[in-house]
Chain A
Amino acid sequence: DAGVIQSPRHEVTEMGQEVTLRCKPISGHDYLFWYRQTMMRGLELLIYFNNNVPIDDSGMPEDRFSAKMPNASFSTLKIQPSEPRDSAVYFCASSTNRDYYNSPLHFGNGTRLTVT
């Protein structure tokens, strides 16, 4: 079974540009998470979905960030406009309640975002 797939792997953009990160969760997983990782702040939970519905977006830093999950196999995280402080690695992860204690979160490879 394919794992969580994220694209792009690397993104370099200029300040003020719109950035869209994409994620395909593992088939059958009903939870999807977006995390951001930096050296200073570690892994921060931005938002998570259950059955395509946003459950907790309290970690979304500000209105410039938005996330959607139009269907069970696709999610996006959008930053508009981007700023240099948004530079980080963004991870998507998925999970299912049925196997939670054995393998709670499956992470994608991450998108390394650099905003200049």
Chain B
Amino acid sequence: RKEVEQDPGPFNVPEGATVAFNCTYSNSASQSFFWYRQDCRKEPKLLMSVYSSGNEDGRFTAQLNRASQYISLLIRDSKLSDSATYLCVVNPGGFKTIFGAGTRLFVKA
């Protein structure tokens, strides 16, 4: 079993739609969680950290469920510019940062 698993997609949604991605992790002792965004042929960039109580940043909402060992990302009112690959990131301990394979999102006009 992979340490971090994501549905690769692609998710094809129209502008204005709400879309959600899930990610599961195998190490129950994992300490910190993030979502990164990666545009085609670019480097990954931090989208948001995921806090235990859940957190929101504009149109983006992240949730953590430690009991079931998954995190989620919800994007509301999708924009064309949201088209990218979204990477789930988990720290199983220390600074060993593990990336999921990513979920591709295409937002269409």
Contact = CB atoms under 8 A, between A and B. Distances in A.
Nearest to B96: A56
Given A31-B95, A45-B97, A107 B87 contact: no
B53 to A, nearest CB: 13
B101 interface: yes
B46 interface: yes
Contacts of A101: 32, 49
B99 A42 contact: yes
A55 B45 CA distance: 23
A16 to B, nearest CB: 28
A103 B43 CA distance: 14
A110 B97 contact: no
Contacts of B96: 45, 48, 56
A77 B94 CA distance: 22
Given A91-B43, A101-B32, A107-B43, A55 B95 contact: yes
Interface string A28-43: 0001010100000111
Nearest to B4: A42
A101 B98 CA distance: 15
Interface of B: 32, 34, 36, 42-46, 49, 87, 89, 94-102
7 contacts: A42-B101, A42-B102, A43-B101, A45-B97, A100-B95, A102-B49, A109-B42
Given A43-B99, A45-B96, A102-B49, 6 more contacts: A41-B101, A55-B94, A95-B95, A104-B34, A108-B43, A110-B43
